[in-house]
Amino acid sequence: DAGVIQSPRHEVTEMGQEVTLRCKPISGHNSLFWYRQTMMRGLELLIYFNNNVPIDDSGMPEDRFSAKMPNASFSTLKIQPSEPRDSAVYFCASSLQVAGLDTQYFGPGTRLTVL
């Protein structure tokens, strides 16, 4: 099993530019989560999907952030326009929503630097 795949692993961009982060969940999983990790705020849940439908996006910091899951094997997190305070590591995680099998499996993350 390849695990959760994220791309790119590192992204450096300038303020104002659009950034798109990508995630491929584990095959067969039906829940997908986007997290942001910073030293100051720790791990923050941004949004999560069940069966490709966004369930809770209350963690999305601003309208500049948007996420989509067009199918069960792909999701994107977009920041437009990006700002320096968006610099963080962004993680995608997936799980199988079946009773007794809640475990979330994390990808390696995308380290975003906005200059």
Compute the distance between CA of residue 24 and CA of residue 107 in angstroms, rounded to an integer: 9
| Residues 6+ away with beta carbon under 8 Å from 98 | none
Contact with another protein (CB under 8 A) among 48, 88, 94, 114 = 48
Task: Tell the smallest beta-carbon distance from residue 49 to another protein (Å).
Answer: 10
Nearer to another protein among residue 81 and residue 108 (C-beta): 108
Task: Tell the smallest beta-carbon distance from residue 16 to another protein (Å).
Answer: 28
| Residues 6+ away with beta carbon under 8 Å from 81 | 15, 16, 17, 18, 64
Nearer to another protein among residue 75 and residue 95 (C-beta): 95
Nearer to another protein among residue 37 and residue 76 (C-beta): 37
Contact with another protein (CB under 8 A) among 1, 53, 63, 99 = 99
Compute the distance between CA of residue 91 and CA of residue 108 in angstroms, rounded to an integer: 7
- Phi, then psi, of 86 in degrees rounded to 5: -80, -10
Positions in the binding site for another protein (CB under 8 A): 4, 31, 33, 42-43, 45, 48, 50, 56, 91, 93, 95, 97-109
